[in-house]
Homo-oligomer: A and B are copies of this chain.
Amino acid sequence: MIALPTLISRAARHNPSGLATRFGDRDTTWTALEARVSRLAAGLLSLSVAPGERVALLSLNSDRFYEAMFAIPWAGQVLVPLNTRWAQGENHYALADCGARALVFDDHFRQQAEALLPTLKQLEHAVYLGDGNCPPWAVSAEGLIHGHGPAAVSGRSGDDLLGIFYTGGTTGFPKGVMQSHRALWASAVGAMPDYHMNRDSVFLHSAPMFHMADLAGSMSATLAAACNVILPAFDPGQVLRAVADKGVTHALLVPAMIKMLINHPEAATADVSSLRRVLYGASPMPAEVLKKCLETWPGVGLAQAYGQTELAPIATTLSVADHIEGGVKLKSAGRPTSVSEVRIVAEDGSDCPLGVTGEIAVRGPHTMLGYWNKPEETAKALRDGWVFTGDAGYFDGEGYLFIADRVKDMIISGGENVYTTEVENAVIGHPAVQDVAVIGIPHPDWGEAVHAIVVLRPGHSATEEEVINHCRGRIAGYKLPKSVSFRSEPLPLSGAGKVLKTELRKPFWAGWERQVN
């Protein structure tokens, strides 16, 4: 049975004097890290938070985040990483929902922790993860580490609940995805052929570490006993300098971040010669970004991962070999990893033939246990061992998965299904268009009408008619945008880098009720 925190001991055994984490000027070896994690676990247990009880973690990226992430399950407690972009009210919801007994927080969230603490009766403990003075209403993580000997690692493992991961909440209330030790381990093992890390590797964390994508990257780096270089948050200039200064070899990014990196003024001169591989997720790589990426970073292999929090998180990967200019598979999400099984389900529950779009369902040792305290949502999403992803997609004849859309973003116009990704691919080809999101807006006759929200390139212009005409012939008539609006702001993105279509739809749907499967 896999106990996730024992990966720390394994890395310390395999690479004792190697660096586990590098944050700012602070370097920690695997041996030192194992000692800190096991002592922090002893300290967390001393707070009388029992194994199985929830401990929330609200912190920007840091080496201390990495330690706490392993110390909590080392103590047998259940890890609940909170979304650092959430408002206080949202974090209050999550803390109340999971009944957190303790909140671990850093300097950045000091005020929010202080405000939250008195509002939740069961939240008895606050643990300060920062480098400054510990507030009087909290105990200091450093104090716990120095005041305790190492705890034996908890016996919780395998199917036991490791953590609760609140999903982005693009619709309704956030759901707490319950993940087991085994699921996180399995997803990380399944990603190893694509990450291709070993103990000589240096993995950069610039995406938020609370998010399942980067958290899974942490697991892969730990499996490899590689070095974790940690930035507090994503900043393209800082990323480029970290790559050069710390010899970063591997990174997890989203296409939007890659775009910012290759368009950064320092991109041409930055020394990224150490970089070997970039795994990206959340969306396919636009052809233009790939082209520039291959030019700017000729030695870097790009691989895409597709999944979701419920899959801990990886289901399929698009290999480095498929990332060639003009590659026919570039718009696909690749093939199932060796731990994952993927099927395409029609509305009647049968399997869709090749090329036919249906809902993507996934099973394997990496699937969630369910949603915390949400039996109805769990029953809907988890059926016969399959996680129904809410994404629509199809397989081609060579086993590549193409994501057509989020099922809930799909537009039903005059009875026809319109997958917005397909429309977006048509619009983005217009030379004046920098970015686009296609949504369904209410229509009295058709139910929904196809609407494109366009961000133009600086210095370029286009009319609604020109955009629609550009799409004509490229996609069927019923898929053409019926209207186009232009936006000067960038499109709103979720923490995972996905376009927040819920936000974009809101003004159009005021006073209407949208029907979603």
Which A positions have Cβ atoms within 8 angstroms of B? 1-2, 10, 13-15, 188-190, 192-193, 196, 198-200, 223-225, 319, 335-336, 338-339, 341-343, 351, 365, 398-399
Task: Please give, as numbers and ranges, the residues of chain B lying within 8 Å of A336 by CB-CB distance.
Answer: 14
Give the Cβ gap from A246 to chain B, nearest Cβ, in Å.
19
Residues of chain B lying within 8 A (CB to CB) of residue A15:
399
Additional 13 contacts, C-beta under 8 A, given A14-B336, A192-B193 = A1-B365, A13-B341, A13-B342, A13-B343, A14-B341, A14-B342, A15-B399, A188-B338, A192-B192, A198-B335, A199-B335, A224-B338, A225-B399
Report copies per complex.
2
Using CB atoms, name the residue of chain B closest to A354.
B16
Task: Give the docked Cα–Cα distance between A375 and B418 (Å).
Answer: 64
**A342's closest neighbor in chain B, by CB?**
B14
**CA A505 to CA B212, docked complex, whole Å:** 57
Q: A335-B198, A338-B223, A338-B224 are in contact. Are A399 and B189 (CB under 8 A)?
A: no
Closest residue of chain B to A7, judged by CB? Answer: B341
A62 to chain B, nearest CB (A): 25
Contacts of A13 in B (CB 8 A): 341-343, 351
Cβ-closest chain B residue relative to A224:
B338
State A200–B319 Cα separation when bound (angstroms).
Answer: 13
User: Which residues of chain B come closer than 8 Å to A2, judged between CB atoms?
Assistant: 365
Nearest opposing residue in chain B for A11, CB measure:
B341
- Docked CA distance A339–B351 (Å): 33
Quote the shortest CB–CB distance from A449 to chain B (angstroms).
37
Evaluate contact between B199 and A399: CB separation under 8 angstroms: yes
Instruction: Tell me the smallest distance from the CB of A489 to a CB of chain B, in Å.
Output: 41
Q: List 8 A-B contacts (CB under 8 A).
A: A2-B365, A13-B341, A14-B336, A14-B341, A14-B342, A188-B338, A189-B189, A199-B399
Distance (Å) between the CB of A156 and the closest chain B CB?
Answer: 16
* Chain B residues within an 8 Å CB radius of A343: 13
Q: A343-B13, A365-B2 are in contact. Are A338 and B399 (CB under 8 A)?
A: no
| B-chain residues with CB within 8 Å of residue A10 when the two chains form the complex | 341
| Measured CA separation A2–B2 after assembly (Å) | 14
Tell me, rounded to whole Å, the shortest Cβ–Cβ distance linking A249 to chain B: 13
On whether the beta carbons of B14 and A339 are closer than 8 Å, the reply is: no
Residues from chain B with Cβ under 8 Å of A225 in the complex: 399
Nearest first, the 6 closest Cβ-Cβ pairs linking A and B are A223-B338, A193-B193, A10-B341, A192-B338, A192-B193, A199-B399
A15 CB, min distance to chain B CBs, angstroms? 6
Q: Which of A1, A189, A196, A224 has the most CB of B within 10 A?
A: A189
- Taking the closest CB of chain B, its distance from the CB of A355, in whole angstroms, is 13
Q: Is the CB of A193 within 8 A of B196?
A: yes
Closest to A186 in B: B189
* Residue picked from A200, A223, A399, most chain B C-beta under 10 Å: A399
Partner of A189, one of B200, B335, B339, B341: B339
Nearest residue in B to A10 (C-beta to C-beta)? Answer: B341
Query: What is the minimal beta-carbon distance from A147 to any residue of chain B, in angstroms?
Result: 27
How distant is the Cα of A1 from the Cα of B188 in the complex, in angstroms?
17
The answer to whether A399 and B14 touch across the interface, beta carbons within 8 angstroms, is: yes
Q: With A and B bound together, what is the CA distance between A15 and B336 in angstroms?
A: 11
State A275–B223 Cα separation when bound (angstroms): 30
Q: Of all chain B residues, which has the CB nearest A401? A: B14
Closest to A9 in B: B341
Minimal beta-carbon separation of A319 from chain B (angstroms)? 8
A227 to B: closest C-beta gap in Å: 13
* Shortest Cβ distance from residue A14 to the other chain B in the assembled complex, whole angstroms: 6
| A14 contact set on B, CB distance < 8 A | 335-336, 341-342, 399
Q: How far is the CB of A35 from chain B (nearest CB, A)?
A: 16
Shortest beta-carbon distance, A162 to chain B, in Å?
16
Closest residue of B by beta carbon distance from A200: B398
What's the minimum C-beta distance from A213 to chain B, rounded to whole angstroms? 19
**Closest B residue by C-beta to A14:** B399
Specify which chain B residues have a CB less than 8 angstroms from the CB of A351 in the assembled complex.
Answer: 13
A196 CA to B338 CA in the complex, in Å? 10
CA gap between A225 and B340 in the complex, in Å: 12
Question: Complex formed: what's the CA distance from A198 to B452 in Å?
Answer: 38
Query: Smallest CB-CB separation from A321: which chain B residue?
Result: B198
Shortest Cβ distance from A222 into B: residue: B338
Give Cα distance in the complex from A341 to B196, angstroms: 18
In the complex, which residues of chain B have a beta carbon less than 8 angstroms from the beta carbon of A342?
A: 13-14
Closest to A18 in B: B399
Shortest Cβ gap from A476 to chain B (Å): 29
CB neighbours (8 Å) of A199 from chain B are 335, 398-399
What B residues does A224 contact at CB under 8 A?
A: 338
Once the chains are docked, how many angstroms separate the CA of A351 from the CA of B14?
12
Question: Would B193 and A190 count as touching, CB distance under 8 A?
Answer: no
A1: chain B residues within 8 A (beta carbon)? 365
Q: A140 CB to closest chain B CB, in angstroms?
A: 33
